[in-house]
Amino acid sequence: MRFTSIASGSSGNCIYTGSDQTHVLIDTGISAKRIDQGLRELGISGKEIGGILITHEHSDHICGLGVLLRKYQIPVYATARTIRKILRTTSLGAVPEELFHPIQADESFQIGDLEVQPIAISHDAADPCAYRIEHEGKSAAVMTDLGEYSGYTINHLQDLDVLLLEANHDIRMLETGPYPYYLKQRILGTRGHLSNEAAGHLLCDVLHDNIKHIFLGHLSKENNYPDLAYESVKVEISLGDCPYKGGDFPITVAPREKMSEIIYF
């Protein structure tokens, strides 16, 4: 398998993973032009994408979807309530409704030779979910846009090879920054976003000796810095209740405006 972030941040998200035979995108929150550029760097085209997995209907996760569907006719997988919200999003333009396939959290399904496991998450959207993708004993997950996590979340992130985890904001930057009070409360709430510290705490519960790579993603442009997210998460791991230190694993921040490195596993 291989995995890369084509873009990740509060302004747009699109993740690729796949096997030699099957390729999928998780979210399409950047322009179709940028997505096509990323796919070309991977040596594939939109015609070869076997499915698009949508986490939820917010614009930073779907804004490129309409153009991609009209251009390539790619099947889309999302929860039924998310699909209804997407189909009512006029900014996407006309999209072929027959391409949409409703899925449910905790009910796995196949796209080619990939097994996809939707994972329920807590976020202020219609019915959001994260995704874990498996192939021949290898696995990767994208876990962003959650205000809190639980034992359920931890259980679904065990024994991964690659994880892209949200480290959205630094709490102090958010609290003292320019956002209005209601928006700060939304981000800090149980249906908002994970802070750097919370991401570090969650990693303490899912790290294991054989994990290959950790990406920190969905960083806020206004309330975080890549170096701050990286160092904060490493500190939380080193000080946390786990047998590891922050430097024991490859951890990188998924870039906002360009592709990350490609991880093969």
CATH of residue 257:
3.60.15.10
Give me the pLDDT at residue 134, please: 98
Q: What is the pLDDT of residue 147?
A: 97
For the chain, residues with pLDDT lower than 50 are: none
Q: Answer for the pair 77, 116: CB distance below 8 angstroms, yes or no.
A: yes
Q: 97: domain range?
A: 2-264
Closest CA to 11 of 55, 53, 63: 63
Angle at 60 between CA 57 and CA 66, to 5 degrees: 65
Structure tokens at 30: 């950047």
Beta bridge partners of 252: 215
Instruction: Confirm if 117 and 92 have CB atoms less than 8 A apart.
Output: no
Rounded Cα gap, residues 154 and 198, in angstroms: 13
Q: What is the pLDDT of residue 2?
A: 98
How many structural domains compose the chain? 1
Measured distance CA(226)–CA(35) in Å, rounded: 22
| Placement of tokens 């202020």 in the chain | 124
For residue 238, give every residue at least 6 positions away whose Cβ sits within 8 Å of its Cβ, in sequence order, or none.
244, 245, 246, 247
Looking at residue 59, what is its pLDDT?
98
Residue 172, pLDDT score: 98
Total H helices, total E strands in the chain: 9, 14
Q: Tell me, what's the pLDDT at 130?
A: 98
Contact 26, 4 (CB under 8 A): no
Q: Return the pLDDT at 40.
A: 98
- The CA distance from 259 to 21, in Å, is 22
